[in-house]
Amino acid sequence: MALVNLKLCLSLFLILIGIASAQLSSTFYSSTCPNVLSIIKTAVNSAVSSEARMGASLLRLHFHDCFVNGCDASVLLDDNSTFTGEKTAGPNSNSLRGFNVIDTIKSNLETSCPGVVSCADILAVAARDSVVALNGPSWTVPLGRRDSTTASLSAANSNLPGPGLNLSALITAFSNKGFTAKELVALSGSHTIGQARCTVFRSHIYNDANINAQFATSLKANCPSSGGDNNLAPLDTTSPTAFDNAYYKNLQGQKGLLHSDQELFNGGSTDAQVNTYSTNSATFFTDFGNAMVKMGNLSPLTGTSGQIRTNCRKAN
């Protein structure tokens, strides 16, 4: 009996150790790479200073990573002989950008503390620093993720919510990742920065009834009914390079650039949350930061899983 109890205690101890090792911590690199946050912040600030749109691009990289099999930096992997990566997936092709900024950050970290900081953690911190650089909120980023050795084109094509989804489909897509409708509305506020290509909003401005007619007309010159697919328009026409709550005010005026944006304020269950954020930026900032931390916790590789890539574009 004593032997059985000893084995049971040992098993429980090992389980607890496994749980502890899988937890992320904001101080994960405090002894192994104490300058990690300043190195990432310096590079992000430089990139955003050179081009404000890069802030939105780096934020989007983190989102498009985490929604596909978790926050494991799979989105950064180039195609190779064993798999086709996620960069050519429908939601990512000719759209995702900022890879060169991540490369620079990784190179700087490899010089300072080689083999220590994961690409997945770089994405998480760079997303936060990008928002801060554009006058948005800050939040504490838990660290300790490791990098995947593979990527999934099919998962990227199926898991990332598209710009043509209606409210019900959006709620389902986010619910599948553990998010509430409130968190869907908060995370959608990331569209207060950045730009979108004509090809993803053309149908909305030409065919949807739930759009401000004058707003639609102003967009059609840069997004004709045919051609100009890669022409850009700001997701938030009021203050496209400032992280604020103008996005929600635009939705109230039926000036959402994407169909999926306007669906958040179209007589449905999320209208009240849009109204709240449009009048209270502090509440939006708090909810956004909390939702970003939750997103960063989506199925991370930790402990002995995955690896610390030397080059974010390929497995070691």
Helix or strand holding residue 6 (H, E) = helix 2-22
The rounded distance, in Å, linking the Cα atoms of 123 and 59 is 8
- Extract the tokens encoding 43: 């590079």
Beta bridge partners of 307: 147
Nearest to 178, CA basis, from 75, 86, 293: 293
Query: Per this entry, what is the length of the chain?
Result: 316
SS3 302: coil
The rounded distance, in Å, linking the Cα atoms of 84 and 237 is 36
CB 161 within 8 A of CB 51: no
- Phi, psi of 144, rounded to the nearest 5 degrees: 125, 10
Helix or strand holding residue 203 (H, E) = helix 198-207
- Extract the tokens encoding 5: 């109890």
- DSSP class of residue 161 equals P
Beta bridge partners of 294: none
CB atoms within 10 A of CB 105: 27
Catalytic residue among 62, 64, 204, 259: 64
Which segments within the chain are labelled E, that is strand? 195-197, 232-234
The rounded distance, in Å, linking the Cα atoms of 220 and 223 is 5
CB 118 within 8 A of CB 126: no
The yes-or-no answer on residue 64 being catalytic is: yes
CB 179 within 8 A of CB 203: no
Q: Which residues are catalytic?
A: 64
